[in-house]
Amino acid sequence: MNLHVRGTILPDGVTRDLWVLGDRITFERPRVESETVARGGFVLPGLVDVHTHPGAAEDGGFDGELFGEQVAAHREAGTALLRFPGLSGTVPDAVREAVGAPRMITAGRWLAWAGLSRKAEFHTVTEELAQAAAAEAVAHDGWCKIMGDWDFEAPPVPYDVMRAVVEAVHAVGGRVAAHCQSADGVLNAARAGIDSIEHGMGMPEESLGFMAANGAAYVPTLTAFAGSRAEVAARGTARSRVWLAGHDTMIRRVGEAHDAGVTVLAGTDSAPFGNVASEVGHLVAAGLPADVAVGAASWRAREFLGLPGIEEGGLADLTVYEADPRREPAVLAHPRRIVVRGQVVR
């Protein structure tokens, strides 16, 4: 059965009818009968979480069953597109190809340069970081994930190594996401032309100009950091004070990044899953205009990742809300109707 939706289409703000034919959108009324699944309200391209790690087991490994459960939580919240910047295992085909499953962009394993001073169990450590990064981008969905640094105090991956990674990945048509926490790590990644900087704790202001010039995105994952702040503050150690100062900096950089022309995107990082609406709230609190924050989890994120929004022939991912989320961002947590890949989820 074809689907019919009438509502105010965002971000354009025009009220009109659209139809879902399979996994595509059309504004031309089909000759066959269609089921009206939404009339009135505000219609967004399906939500996007650009930084999430479902399936991460407590031991640092990958749990395929848990992955399926957490992806389902994303879908039930209206999140129709997920980017995984680093997974410890392989996405189960049964989950990825299931009817109504969110679209998924993988980036392969977390790649760590052998020169980093500290390595986690889930990192894949290599001397040949550029070669490994290019291979991951080719093997997955055009993205790879590297660790730009690890500790706050230790030197990050050197600029020349980062630049070699960018050149190698771009040469095969891929893009690079970099985990960065320290100021030097962020600056090296920004200067090297990294495509997205994840977290960015301690981000120096001068990095914003490089990011804007290179078309890089900033994915601060504020939800995850906000959940850890009270625990870190209670420690009262020198290291915790560095963490807190870095957290303050990354919050301040959100609005400054937008003002500098950097694309800011919404990613939640970890549990609870299906919680990208909370990230939008944190982005607004950090100074991002509400409409920009909503776009960071919808149309702008899709554009950055190379997917269309609500347009003729576009993908059939829709969420419908009673109120305009550009004016009431909290409504994102309460979708009235969810369509993912042309299938009614709610």
pLDDT at 88 over 80: yes
- Which pLDDT tens digit goes with each residue over 265-292? 999 998 889 999 999 999 999 999 999 9
Which residues, 6+ apart, have CB-to-CB distance to 254 below 8 Å? 218, 220, 222, 264, 283, 286, 287, 288
- Which pLDDT tens digit goes with each residue over 224-233? 999 899 999 9
- 33 in the same domain as 178: no
- 150 in the same domain as 231: yes
pLDDT, average across residues 261-266: 98
- Which pLDDT tens digit goes with each residue over 162-180? 999 999 999 999 999 999 9
| Per-residue model confidence (pLDDT) at position 89 | 86
Residue 311 CA to residue 231 CA, distance in Å, equals 45
- The total domain count for the chain is 2
Residue 52: strand pairing partners: 269
| Per-residue model confidence (pLDDT) at position 254 | 98
What is the residue whose two structure tokens read 């301040």?
A: 252
> Residue 316 belongs to a domain with what CATH number?
2.30.40.10
Q: Which of 152-161, 297-306, 321-330 has the lowest mean pLDDT?
A: 152-161
Q: Which helix (H) or strand (E) holds 198?
A: strand 196-199
- 80 in the same domain as 6: no
Whether residue 18 contacts residue 9, with contact meaning beta carbons closer than 8 Å, is answered with yes
Read off the DSSP letter of residue 121: T
Q: Fill in the amino acid letter for 331.
A: V
- 173 in the same domain as 155: yes
- 145 in the same domain as 70: yes
- 219 in the same domain as 96: yes
Residue 126 CA to residue 137 CA, distance in Å, equals 16
Share of the chain above pLDDT 70, in %: 99
| Per-residue model confidence (pLDDT) at position 314 | 97
> Residue 109 belongs to a domain with what CATH number?
3.20.20.140
pLDDT, average across residues 249-254: 96
Length of the chain: 346
Strand bridging mode 196-199 / 217-219: parallel
- 89 in the same domain as 12: no
- 126 in the same domain as 260: yes
pLDDT, average across residues 212-237: 95
pLDDT at 152 over 90: no
Residue 53 CA to residue 195 CA, distance in Å, equals 19
- 168 in the same domain as 106: yes
pLDDT at 90 over 90: no
| Per-residue model confidence (pLDDT) at position 117 | 67
- 16 in the same domain as 124: no
Q: Which domain holds residue 235?
A: 47-305
| Per-residue model confidence (pLDDT) at position 215 | 98
Q: Which helix (H) or strand (E) holds 26?
A: strand 24-26
The pTM of the full predicted model, rounded to 2 decimals, is 0.96
- 40 in the same domain as 51: no
- List the structure tokens of 138: 């080719």
- List the structure tokens of 309: 């929004």
Per-chain mean pLDDT for the chain? 95
Q: Kindly list the distances between the CA atom of residue 180 and the CA atoms of 159, 162, 217, 218, 220, in Å, as whole numbers in the listed order.
A: 13, 12, 13, 11, 10
- 175 in the same domain as 147: yes
pLDDT at 139 over 90: yes
